[in-house]
Chains A and B, each alone.
Chain A
Amino acid sequence: MLIDVHAHFLHDRTPRADWRERNASRLRAGERVGITVHVASILGSWGLTSPTYFPSVADLRYANDFLLALQRDHPGRVRGYVTVNPNYTAESLSEIRRCLDAGMIGIKLAASRRADDPLLDPICRSAAERRVPVLQHIWQHRRRDYPGQEASDAHELAVLARRHPAVPFLLAHIGGGGDWLHSLPIIRDLPNVLVDLSGSGVDGGMLEACLAAVGVERLLWGCDLTIETGWAKLRYLRHLLSPAELELVGWRNAARIFPPGAFPGD
């Protein structure tokens, strides 16, 4: 079993005319790598009718519906995070309820509101009640504000994670841009924060640093936008880890934090 905890899909109301090809390419590459389950999110309209990181309620609902349909089309192979914009509290809570009831297994928070903001608290309380993890988009060491997103870094996620110790948080894409060396020591002593290994970065020394910082039981394998980098990390992990440890990173840690029955044979 191999679980990609950080996948994305596109749909017909995004800027991408090739959305079908990209979705098919992800699934095809996943077959070659041996990915059993893609745990995915869709960030609204990916910028077509509202900004990618500040998606409108309507765009989120359409995207979440598309992902639910994808789950139904690929049972056992695609599972969903419900993506919400915390600036719309009531709508977010309602959307979380709706999508988890329909079979999604986690909550995705992108970069609509800083992770340490109190507006995230009701969402995290909802995650605790439903016993689902929260995947928080992270810019590793955000030194300034970047246009188009209110990104958070590990410091801000740590504040949130301390306020909600019962919720498992995924620190998104450690290889996805920014200074990962800055993030790792911040979360070292926070057992409810796990490191998602996805991202296009395949830096030498990064996986060793992740292991040293949080240990093998808090690492989760994933790809994000580049499946080949995920596969490269998996191949290198085979060199670093025992088979039992590799299973932890490849799926057992994920099975531990997602709801029971989220994955086939789980």
Chain B
Amino acid sequence: MHIDVNAFVGAYPFRRVPGTSPDALLAAMDRVGLDEAWVSHLPGIFWRDPTEGNAWLLETTRRHPRLQPVPAVHPGLAHWDDTLARACDAGAPAVRADPTFYGIDPAGPGMRALAAACGAADMPLVLAVRLEDGRQRHPNDRAPELPASAVRALIRCDPSLRLLVTHADRPFIEEVHFGSTPAEAARIWWDICWIWGPPEDHLQTLLGTIGSPRFVVGTGQPLRLPENAGAKLDLLDLTVEERAALEAANAASLRRPWPR
């Protein structure tokens, strides 16, 4: 079993990206040997109401069982708790919020309320640090990157909250991990999408200092080539068990209820 926790469907507003349809995503998954992908609705991130993409996402993932929906929740919009409840009812593995793209404080009252509600509902919350390299973004694509301080603040909101943070690099991960208590850090999972391999060996270092249970395979496809995750793992010296954990078991652990 190979799980990609960080994939998208739908068009990107700032440049033409091939392979954004569900069928194309499935073909790319076949190409690199991924069995399951947790998918978000890409254009919705930029909509005033990002939850308008959820119905299509849920319908699409019902038709394609290898795709698991990650619906969006905007805590600045009325009835966001209903959106979260619908995601729980739909069996989503996680929900996502992109506060800097929504134009809200990433550690403000809305996000703190969402964090607490996700903790109470046993629903992991996905946060992306970025979607593209900041040096290449469209001149009008100006949402700030997610600050590490916001992740530290949110994980402290509720002792049951679990966060899946995507597109984070080594300094970001280290800042949050070592700026949290062990109990807090144990409720954060990181995808490997933005972590460098050799010769800098950032991923190898993090697996040693923070521990492999905290990491999961995420690709960021189709904005990024999914081949990157496999190449990164193939350059590590991992046991069969460690590799299986990174490729599936750690992600599966996110779906289990958090012990209270």
- Which A positions have Cβ atoms within 8 angstroms of B? 21-23, 25-26, 28-29, 32-33, 139-141, 143, 177-181, 200-205, 207-208, 225-229, 231-233, 235-236, 239
Contacts and interface: CB of A to CB of B under 8 A. Distances in A.
Contacts of B16: 205
A228 B224 contact: no
Given A201-B136, A205-B18, A226 B196 contact: yes
Nearest to B134: A177
Given A180-B136, A181-B15, A32 B225 contact: no
Contact of B199 (A26, A200, A236): A26
B136 A178 contact: yes
Contacts of B135: 139-140, 177-179
Given A22-B200, A201-B133, A235 B19 contact: no
Given A143-B139, A177-B135, A207-B225, 4 more contacts: A181-B15, A203-B132, A203-B223, A232-B231
**Chain A to chain B: the 7 pairs with minimum beta-carbon distance, closest first:** A228-B197, A29-B198, A232-B228, A231-B231, A26-B199, A232-B227, A25-B199
Contacts, number: 98
B228 A22 contact: no
A23 B199 contact: yes
Give chain B's interface secondary structure class: loop
Interface residues of B, number: 30
Interface string B120-137: 000000000000110110
A207 B232 CA distance: 19
B139 to A, nearest CB: 8
A205 B234 contact: no
Contacts of A232: 225, 227-228, 230-232
A208 B198 CA distance: 25
B127 to A, nearest CB: 21
Interface in B8-41: 15-19, 31-32
Nearest to B192: A228
21 contacts: A21-B201, A22-B201, A26-B198, A29-B199, A32-B235, A178-B135, A179-B135, A201-B136, A202-B227, A203-B136, A204-B222, A205-B18, A227-B199, A229-B228, A232-B225, A232-B228, A232-B230, A232-B231, A233-B225, A236-B225, A236-B227
Interface in B209-260: 221-225, 227-228, 230-232, 234-235
Nearest to B198: A29
Contact of B31 (A139, A203, A204, A239): A239
Contact of B235 (A23, A202, A228, A239): A228
